[in-house]
Amino acid sequence: MKRLIWFMVLGVWWPVLAQAHFLIAVDPKGLGYGVRGQEAHFLLLLGHPFEGILYDLKAPEGFVLTPAGEKEKVVFSRLTIKDYASGKKRFGYRLTYLPTRRGDHWICLKAKPYLNEETNQVWQDYLKVPLHVQVERGWEQSCGFGLEIEPLVRPYGLQTGQVFRGRVLLKGQPYAGAEIEVEKFNGFYVPPSKLPQDSWGRINNPRLTQVLRTDETGYFTVGFPEAGWWVINVSVPGGQARYAQRTFPLVIRSGIWIYVFPAQPVPPTGLDLKPEGP
Report pTM: 0.89
Average pLDDT over residues 203-223: 95
Q: Which pLDDT tens digit goes with each residue over 16-51?
A: 334 568 999 999 999 999 999 999 999 999 999 999
What domains are defined for the chain?
2-258 (2.60.40.10)
Q: Given 3-state DSSP classes, what are the helix, strand and coil percentages for the chain, each rounded to the nearest 5?
A: 10, 50, 45
* Rg of the chain, C-alpha, whole Å: 20
Residue 226: pLDDT above 50? Answer: yes
Q: Comparing 19 with 152, which gets the higher pLDDT?
A: 152
Strand partners, 223: 163
CA–CA gap between residue 40 and residue 33 (Å, rounded):
8
> 10 Å Cβ neighbour count for 54?
25
> 10 Å Cβ neighbour count for 222?
16
